[in-house]
Amino acid sequence: MDQLRETLKVHHLRTTTCREDVLSTFINRKNALSHGDLEGELGENYDRVTIYRTLKTFLEKGIIHKVLDDEGLRYALCSHSCSEEKHQHDHIHFKCSSCGETNCLENLHIPAVQLPEGYHPEHFNLLIQGVCPKCN
C-alpha cells in the first residue's frame, strides 16, 4: 500500500481507492492491460467511466503508457524515469501467441529508422509476436 500511495504522491495525484486498485492491478499483473481487462477485474467496484478516467489521468501523469497490439489498445506501467513532462517508452513490446500476454521489453530499444524527407516521427511502437519464456 505504501508503494501505491508513494507513486501517486510523486506524480502529484490524490489517493483514491480506484487509483490504488488500478495501480495495484498493473503492479501485480506485470503485463500490459486493456480497459476491458481492468473492467473485468475491478468492474464490481468501479464503472467503466471511472476506470477510463483513471487510465487517462495515469497516462497524463506518466504512470502508464499506451501499447498497441493486434487486439487494440493496452496500457503498461512506465519505467521510473517517466513523468508528466517526459514519457520515455521507446522500447519493444512482445505479445505471446500462446498465453496472449503483452509485455514491455524495457532493455530493448526500437532501432533507428531513417524516414524519407519530410516525415517527422512523434511516437514509436514496435510489437514482436512469438512465444514467451513462460509458455516456451
Ordered domains of the chain (ranges, CATH): 2-135 (1.10.10.10)
Q: Is 93 helix (H, G, I), strand (E, B) or coil?
A: strand
40 pLDDT tier (thresholds 50, 70, 90): very high
Region class of 120: left (phi > 0), else alpha (psi between -120 and 50), else beta: beta
Question: Which residue has better confidence, 88 or 130?
Answer: 130
What mean pLDDT do residues 42-71 have?
93
What mean pLDDT do residues 20-45 have?
95
Q: Is 101 helix (H, G, I), strand (E, B) or coil?
A: coil
Q: How far apart are CA 13 and CA 44, in angstroms?
A: 24
Q: How far apart are CA 35 and CA 56, in angstroms?
A: 11
93, 124 contact by CB (below 8 A): no
What's the number of CA atoms in the CB half-sphere (13 Å) around residue 74?
24
pLDDT of residue 70: 87
23 pLDDT tier (thresholds 50, 70, 90): very high
